[in-house]
Structure 1
Amino acid sequence: MNSETLEASLRQLVGGSNVLAGPPGGPALVVRPGTTEAVAECLKLFHGQQAPVVALGGLTGLVHGTHTPSHYFGISTERLNKFESFDPNTRLVVVGAGTKLVAVHDFAADHDLRYGVDLGARGSCTIGGNIATNAGGNSVIRFGMTRSNVVGLEVVLSDGSILTDLRGLPKNNAGYDLKQIFIGSEGTLGVVTKALLKLSRRPAGTASVALALNHLDSALVVMEAIERACGHTLLAMEIMWNRYFEKVSTALSAEPPPLPLGHPVYLLAQVEGMDSGEQAVDSLVGALEGIDDIIDSALATTPVQESGTVRNSVREAGFVIG
């Protein structure tokens, strides 16, 4: 089968509008199947012709993981973007791999819940891409990497075989946990088409603090004190060098940063209160009492303060806090 015949077969499978010419310097063709079965049929064709394929998600990665030479083909998940099902009792939701991360967060918020993975690229990155890269993000301390938030997967192998485990059993010791093999595999073992994600209860409020410190040892002391005092309510924590803090704080807004520039080390921490926002504030304040190494501090106790100072200084720029 030559390339023209292959293209014609792909158009017959997914429709002419869903087979696109690749961009300059990119793949020969990009195909956009709309179902798991269509993904399987496309991969069967590619497999039969021994044609190399790269799975394409939101294309927000910065390490060229989706770099596609001109003799390769791209298979995009952007049309696999549906919310398939939701169980409010187990708080489990099935989404297509092409679903944007921000859509999952919005869906969770509509049900007074939240999803544990959050990234600066949330508006563009996809769940399939997050799974392929085992994305971390802002709340790793609290929720772990992507693999900790995925309960089940549907995956298509290179020969078109479909593996499905979307049952969501909370206790399952029946053999290999196959989903963990595919999470973080960068699409080398198969193309994820659906994912069963776990959502969790939203906190009543959060509190964030930015601290200025003289040296790294002081930051480590403070981190240990916060972790010990706050336990599982600790959502995010990050040490930043002075040049990093200055760059991030000044790149986003003309407003002054939450702390003066020029200190050697800065530390950000965010704590959640499951019963009240005041609970989060009390946890943070209590954790920092009696620590002499803190030069200066800025405490954000409302969502407006957090979005305008501490949180905005890193999260909206896409930098990791956690």
Structure 2
Amino acid sequence: MDGGISNPAGTAERLAQMLAALPDLARDALVDPVPPRNLNDWSALPPETPAALFCPRSAEQVAAILAAANAARVPVVPQGGLTGLCGGARPIAGGIALSLEKMTGIEEIDEASATMTVLAGTPLELIQRAAAERGLFFSLDLGARGSCAIGGNAGTNAGGNRVIRYGMMRDLVLGAEVVLPDGTIVNALSKLIKNNTGYDVRQLFIGSEGTLGVITRLVLKLHPAPGCTHAAICGLSDYDKVVDLLRGARRKLGPTLSAFEAMWPDYWEVACAVPGVRDPLEARHAHTVLIEAQGTDEAIDGPRFMAFLEAMFEEGIIEDAAISQSLSDVQAFWGVRDACAEFKTTLGPHHAYDVGLPTGQMDGFARACRAAVAEAVPGGRSVYYGHIGDGNLHLLAWVPGAAPQPGEALDEAVYATVRAFGGSVSAEHGIGTTKKKYLEFSRSPEELDLMRRVKRALDPNGILNPGKVIDA
């Protein structure tokens, strides 16, 4: 691999070489000056100005830009909606930023196949609305739905709120068009669910965070639009009851169970203090759970949901519950769970973590991690919540009043605890640069070596998102 990629000497000359070789096809994609929004993603890292910004409108333009960059050994950082939290879309000095923000649009909705073909820069919320207008449903849902781009969702293998029923992005992408670092356009835009024809090319790029290729189009799997949605906020006396409730929900609600969100009391207290958030329960409980079920027929699924809750009360699993009577109630319940989006205002600066753990170990992890944070940093606090039905726990850690926040000490405390519990340092946010040093906590040496081999095979010159995820 060319060591010049990581060496700032000669970057200006290589950029000039690239621009001189750029075909007319791609010249109008160059944007000057670089807007402030393209200097960073949503990570807490300082902004970085790229040497140039390109905003292509087609896969052919992407291919021409990458081919020229590869020949000149100019680093390229792909960008989508820039809502990532791990620095994966943050530019690097001397490199170019390749933003897909102008590659937006829905090319086809195939109702017979229940698929949608979209350009990679299309915002998630636009895809959700387009599906709903046709009586269909795209199940991925994130708090950043209005800003995040579907290509970035695929590149980071986004999860979101309804993984327990529909799966992660890996389960929602049937086909992809990808441009390799040398400019080769790989068309794998299949609509087939059953396509057992050798290596699954699309999966190579989903979750690769733009280090192996640039996703330019996707074929997405759609589902029928839910006919009804029911939700309840449940108070429970201990974590064992939370696991019992999850087990009961899986058994009695079956495939209608669409979300199971657990909130520890430290999170609940902070969330209910956010302006505009209403506590739907009369008393505080050791654990609080939001359950959502999406059905097809109100006459059948409504009574089923109520029968499930009644059974959980009778078995002594639920202490108290608020049950939705309308979609506005469902949205209000989600408002408590999603209040974390406002914590920067109420808590001030803090660090957000998303980790993967076996569901049965989450409470033990929360207790151990809370103690580790408090021990590592005087005054350190942490709160816990997450989509525990799919093994994903979120936590926020901070030191009240500290400026700047002791990020590295907090990271060490959290990820060392994750490692001790045999968990994953990233359940759905990716690795980028902020978690790169901790990747070995969750992957074996053999897995890391295989990742490096794949990176070298597809990007031998190391131009694509260098320094992110793993070094080849």
Q: What TM-score bracket applies, with the shorter chain setting the length?
A: over 0.9
1:146 is aligned to 2:169: yes
- The one of 274, 284, 302 equivalent to 1:262 is 284
2:236–2:320 Cα contact (<8 Å) kept: yes
1:128–1:193 Cα contact (<8 Å) kept: yes
Counterpart in the other structure of 1:159: 182
Counterpart in the other structure of 2:315: 291
1:237–1:267 Cα contact (<8 Å) kept: yes
Counterpart in the other structure of 1:175: 198
Structure 2 segments unaligned to the other structure (5+ residues): 1-12, 40-46, 342-384, 390-472
Matched residue type, 2:303 = D
1:20 is aligned to 2:32: yes
The offset of 1:68, in angstroms, is: 1.9
1:67-99 deviations in Å (ceiling 9; x for gaps): 222212110111111211221111111100000
- The one of 56, 62, 71 equivalent to 1:48 is 71
1:306 is aligned to 2:318: no
1:118–1:138 Cα contact (<8 Å) kept: yes
- The one of 108, 117, 121 equivalent to 1:94 is 117
**Distance (Å, rounded) in 1 between the aligned partners of 2:275 and 2:208:** 34
2:18–2:71 Cα contact (<8 Å) kept: no
**Distance (Å, rounded) in 1 between the aligned partners of 2:194 and 2:61:** 32
The offset of 1:137, in angstroms, is: 0.2
Q: Choose between structure 1 and 2: higher helix proportion.
A: 2
**Distance (Å, rounded) in 2 between the aligned partners of 1:43 and 1:167:** 24
**Distance (Å, rounded) in 1 between the aligned partners of 2:103 and 2:63:** 13
Counterpart in the other structure of 2:82: 59
Matched residue type, 1:241 = W
Counterpart in the other structure of 1:3: 15
Structure 1 segments unaligned to the other structure (5+ residues): none
Counterpart in the other structure of 1:280: 301
1:162-202 deviations in Å (ceiling 9; x for gaps): 11111312322111111011110111110000000011101
- The one of 96, 119, 135 equivalent to 2:158 is 135
**Distance (Å, rounded) in 2 between the aligned partners of 1:71 and 1:48:** 16
Counterpart in the other structure of 2:105: 82
2:62–2:183 Cα contact (<8 Å) kept: yes
The offset of 1:144, in angstroms, is: 0.2
1:252–1:313 Cα contact (<8 Å) kept: no
Matched residue type, 2:316 = D
**Distance (Å, rounded) in 1 between the aligned partners of 2:64 and 2:238:** 58
**Distance (Å, rounded) in 2 between the aligned partners of 1:9 and 1:301:** 63
Residues 67/153 of structure 1: CA separation in 2 closer, same or farther (3 Å cut): same
Matched residue type, 1:3 = L
Counterpart in the other structure of 1:228: 251
2:230–2:293 Cα contact (<8 Å) kept: yes
Matched residue type, 1:284 = F
1:252–1:317 Cα contact (<8 Å) kept: no
1:97-142 deviations in Å (ceiling 9; x for gaps): 0000000001001101110111010000010000000000011011
**Distance (Å, rounded) in 1 between the aligned partners of 2:320 and 2:148:** 36
Residues 99/320 of structure 1: CA separation in 2 closer, same or farther (3 Å cut): farther
1:188-243 deviations in Å (ceiling 9; x for gaps): 11000000001110111110011111111111111111111011110000111012
1:222–1:291 Cα contact (<8 Å) kept: no
Residues 295/271 of structure 1: CA separation in 2 closer, same or farther (3 Å cut): same
**Distance (Å, rounded) in 1 between the aligned partners of 2:329 and 2:149:** 29
How does 1:103-142 map onto structure 2 within 5 Å? 103-142=126-165
Residues 174/143 of structure 1: CA separation in 2 closer, same or farther (3 Å cut): same
**Distance (Å, rounded) in 2 between the aligned partners of 1:48 and 1:15:** 16
TM-score using structure 2 length: 0.64
Matched residue type, 1:259 = L
TM-score using structure 1 length: 0.93
2:257–2:292 Cα contact (<8 Å) kept: yes
C-alpha RMSD of the superposition = 2.0
| SS in structure 1 of the partner of residue 336 of structure 2 | coil
| SS in structure 1 of the partner of residue 274 of structure 2 | helix
Q: Report % sequence identity.
A: 36
1:153–1:165 Cα contact (<8 Å) kept: yes
**Distance (Å, rounded) in 1 between the aligned partners of 2:275 and 2:147:** 19
The offset of 1:13, in angstroms, is: 3.7
| SS in structure 1 of the partner of residue 102 of structure 2 | coil
- The one of 246, 255, 264 equivalent to 1:241 is 264
**Distance (Å, rounded) in 1 between the aligned partners of 2:48 and 2:273:** 35
1:27-81 deviations in Å (ceiling 9; x for gaps): 2211011000000000001000111111100110111112222212110111111
**Distance (Å, rounded) in 1 between the aligned partners of 2:339 and 2:238:** 26
Out of 169-178 and 113-122, give the one that drifted further.
Answer: 169-178
**Distance (Å, rounded) in 1 between the aligned partners of 2:179 and 2:90:** 21
Q: Choose between structure 1 and 2: higher strand proportion.
A: 1
